[in-house]
Structure 1
Amino acid sequence: MSLYLLFAHEPYYPLPAREINTSVVAAACLLHPHVKQPDGIRIHQYLGQGRRPGEIVPLATLTQELGGGAHWPKVGDWEAVVADLVRLIRNEGCDALSLAPPSSAPCCAAAPTARSASSTRPPRMHLLWPPGPKSSPGPGTPAPRLGRIGQCSMAW
C-alpha cells in the first residue's frame, strides 16, 4: 500500500537562500537499513493502520493518535528516525518531496480542495510542482517523481 509520511525537520539549504524544512517520503523509506531500527519498522507498521492507499500522514497526526505523544516510546524514537530520514534525503538515499517555507521561493506547493462541511472524507490536497527554469529539478532529482503524486488524501 502506498502511504506517505509528512514531517517538519531542522532546515537545510541545498541551494543558496533556499531553506528546506519539511519533507514527504514514501512510508517504505522507514524500512531503510540506515534508518534507526526497529523504530522505523514499528513506525511504518503504525503508520499503515487504518489508512487508505495514497494518504499523506503528517507526523503530527501520529503524535495526536499516540495520546499527544505519550505513547511514542512504545512505537519508536521518532526524532532519531526523522534525523535518519533527513540524512537519507540529503544523500539521495530515498525519494522525497522537499518543501520550503512560504517566505522563501518554494519548490512546490500544497493546495487544499474544497469539501462540504458534512463530508466524512478526509480533505484532498493537490501537490504542485511549478514549471520553469527556477523551479525545475536537476538531473537525477527524485522530487518530481513524488511531485507527480497528484491528488492524494491528507490524514488529519
Structure 2
Amino acid sequence: MKKIIICLFVFMCTGLVPAAACPSAEEGSDETFHHLRVIPLHSNGIISVAVQGEREMKMIHEVKENDIYIEVIIDDFSFSKENSGKAHVSGEGHLQLYLNGTLIDSIYRSGFIIKGLPQGEHTIKVEVAQNDGKPYGLVDEFSVTVTE
C-alpha cells in the first residue's frame, strides 16, 4: 500500500499546472506570504472513492529545496470549487491551507505545491472544510525546516 501511495504521489507531482499568486496574509497578521505560490496538481482521474465507515485523512509531504509537495488523501470525499460557499453536501468540500498559523489559501485538489518558502522553520496545517466553510474535523499538521 505504501508503494502505491508513493507512486501516486510521484505521478501527481509530474503534472503541474500554472500557479496563481497566493493571497497575502490576513489583516493584523505579522507575516505576509506574497512571495509564495501554491500550485495545484492535475487530477489523476479519480473523483471520489466510496468507503464504508468513518472518513479519514492522510497527508504525505516532501521538501525539495524551498518547495513543499503535499498530497492529501481523504476517504469518501470529492473536491468542489464550484460549490464553495454554498450549502453543505456530505463528502464534498475543499482544503484550508495554513502556514505558520495563517490561512493562506483554499485548495480544491488533493495534490499541491507550496513554492518559495523562505529559510527557517515552518508549520503547515491542512484542514478539510465543508462547502459552507465549516470544518469536517479532519486536520493534519507538520513542521519543516527550509535550509536553502
> TM-score of the superposition, structure 2-length normalised?
0.27
* Structure with the bigger percentage of helix: 1
